Amino acid sequence: MIAGENSMIWNERYECMSRDEMKEVQGERLREMIERVYYNVPFYRKKMQDLGIEPSDVRGIDDLDKLPFTTKQDLRDNYPFGLFAVPKSEVVRVHASSGTTGDPTVVGYTRKDIGTWSEVVARTLSACGVSRDDVIQVAYGYGLFTGGLGVHYGSERIGATVVPISGGNTKKQIKLLKDFETTVLACTPSYSLYISEVLEEMNIDPKDLPLRVGIFGAEPWTNSMRKEIEEKLKIKAFDIYGLSEIIGPGVACECEHQTGLHIIEDHFIPEVVDKDTLKPLGYEENGELVFTTVTKEALPLIRYRTKDLTILHPDKCSCGRTSVRMDKVTGRTDDMLIIRGVNIFPSQIESILLEMGETKPHYMLIVDRINNLDTLEVWIEINEEYFSDEIKKLQSLSMKIKHTIESTLGVSVKVKLVEPKTIQRSEGKAQRVIDKRKK
Ligand SMILES: [Zn+2]
């Protein structure tokens, strides 16, 4: 099917097959993958032998829970190419994630893997209504990060006109948005907000731009943030999900109904497990998302723990796709802050701040431990009109924010209102938490 015609489903056979048929496809691909991994990756052979299982024990996806998990640490321990299942001569590309500490995580692709990646990104872009008639400006970073090149190849696959500008250089981004009549912007949600600010500074009304769709991912963002971005840029904003270990962007994406993200399940089998006990959970239960990549050749991963928290929904979507949908990821197990015993996700504070309406979508959380007591300080930019107000008004606004956060989260906070544009803007992934306790 040619995307851009009457349907926006790129691969109807796989995206709309019955649940039973999907289970068959997944089972067959899983058996084949386990066989390959067992004989080609000593790390997995040992893990399976330790658990007393052989490839013949895996008959279908109901046997998934017999298999071992894989973690980011396993990739690090086997740095750089220890988990590859093919000889290096078969690998046509590598990417790597920036490790803040220690070795980066390296991922590899065969020629077929690059084809698979283009296919899955093509499906996700089509779900967002992108077609060959669009001009897509790819403002994700190009390089070792998978964002730029991943979206790039998928966009070419559907025949859109790709503008490979990469991240940063915001004034030039805006010039090209105008001159090239860009209709689709792909970048991190935080960078799209920064672009909207610079547009404002340049006195350009987003309504005068042909831009209509945003493909945003690579960091968790809330629906309140979506509303903010849609209003500021006058576009429809879609959430695209992916991670380099699984393939990069293109693992899942929203459709026009935006009731969760459709997972490309014939390539990536999802599970949700309890984040502490690792026991598999059912549909509609909240837990850690785990993927098994059944078609990847260079770096097939068994039950990779993403650390992202979500819920899976199996019911059919009104768009016609039958794939399982995952909730928008707004928290990661390693994002969770424990403040005096209370679990808090930065996304909860983001929602509260944005829904109040008096502040800008730019904030910072500073966590510290003073006299053995955890402290949480929220820095938040307020709208210009409030900043010129008298001190008394500012104090009452700050008290209002403090009370709202405290009554919602049950933990005491210190609120600091800062001038517009004080908090550092990001051209890639935003850093919103400074945890001084981790020093
Ligand atoms: Zn749908």
Q: Is 283 left (phi over 0), alpha (psi -120 to 50) or beta?
A: beta
CA–centroid distance, residue 320 to ligand 1 (Å): 6
Look at residue 330 in the predicted model and tell me its pLDDT: 82
Mean pLDDT of 13-28: 98
Residue 3 has pLDDT above 80, yes or no: no
pLDDT digits (tens, 9 = 90+) for 40-63: 999 999 999 999 999 999 999 999
CA–centroid distance, residue 394 to ligand 1 (Å): 44
Residue 332 has pLDDT above 50, yes or no: yes
CA–centroid distance, residue 7 to ligand 1 (Å): 12
CA distance from start to end of the chain: 54
| Alpha carbon distance 291, 281 (integer Å) | 14
Tell me the longest C-alpha to C-alpha distance in the chain: 74
* pTM score over 0.95: no
Q: Could you tell me the CA-to-CA distances from 234 to 77, 215, 229, 253 in Å, in that order?
A: 45, 14, 8, 20
Strand partners, 242: 249
CA–centroid distance, residue 307 to ligand 1 (Å): 24
Look at residue 288 in the predicted model and tell me its pLDDT: 97
pLDDT band at 430 (very low <50, low <70, confident <90, very high): confident
CA–centroid distance, residue 326 to ligand 1 (Å): 11
Mean pLDDT of 373-402: 87
Look at residue 160 in the predicted model and tell me its pLDDT: 98
CA–centroid distance, residue 5 to ligand 1 (Å): 17
CA–centroid distance, residue 127 to ligand 1 (Å): 8
pLDDT digits (tens, 9 = 90+) for 122-134: 999 999 999 999 9
Reported as half-sphere exposure (CB side, CA atoms, 13 A), residue 183 has a value of 12
Mean pLDDT of 211-223: 94
Exposed, middle or buried, 405 (CB in 10 Å: 0-12/13-18/19+)? Answer: buried
Burial 108-126 (b: 16+ CB within 10 A, else e): bbbeebbebbbbbbbbbbb
| Alpha carbon distance 123, 264 (integer Å) | 8
pLDDT digits (tens, 9 = 90+) for 117-161: 999 999 999 999 999 999 999 999 999 999 999 999 999 999 999
Q: Could you tell me the CA-to-CA distances from 345 to 71, 221, 267, 432 in Å, in that order?
A: 22, 11, 30, 11
Residue 100 has pLDDT above 80, yes or no: no
- Which of residues 172 and 387 earns the better pLDDT score? 172
Helices assigned H by DSSP within 209-336: 223-233
Task: Determine the Cα angle at 91 with ends 88 and 92, to 5°.
Answer: 135
Look at residue 389 in the predicted model and tell me its pLDDT: 67
Look at residue 179 in the predicted model and tell me its pLDDT: 98
Reported as half-sphere exposure (CB side, CA atoms, 13 A), residue 30 has a value of 27
Strand partners, 215: 186, 238
pLDDT band at 167 (very low <50, low <70, confident <90, very high): very high
CA–centroid distance, residue 281 to ligand 1 (Å): 23
CA–centroid distance, residue 197 to ligand 1 (Å): 32
CA–centroid distance, residue 80 to ligand 1 (Å): 38
- How, if at all, do strands 236-243 and 184-187 pair? unpaired
pLDDT band at 99 (very low <50, low <70, confident <90, very high): low
CA–centroid distance, residue 323 to ligand 1 (Å): 8
pLDDT band at 5 (very low <50, low <70, confident <90, very high): very low
Look at residue 1 in the predicted model and tell me its pLDDT: 40
Look at residue 4 in the predicted model and tell me its pLDDT: 41
| E-assigned strand segments in 261-409 | 261-263, 268-273, 280-281, 287-293, 304-310, 312-313, 325-326, 337-339, 342-344, 359-370, 373-382
Burial 192-213 (b: 16+ CB within 10 A, else e): bbbbbbebeeeeeebeebebbb
CA–centroid distance, residue 26 to ligand 1 (Å): 20
Radius of gyration of the chain (CA): 22
Residue 190 has pLDDT above 50, yes or no: yes
Strand partners, 253: 240, 262
| Alpha carbon distance 37, 248 (integer Å) | 20
CA–centroid distance, residue 254 to ligand 1 (Å): 7
Look at residue 6 in the predicted model and tell me its pLDDT: 40
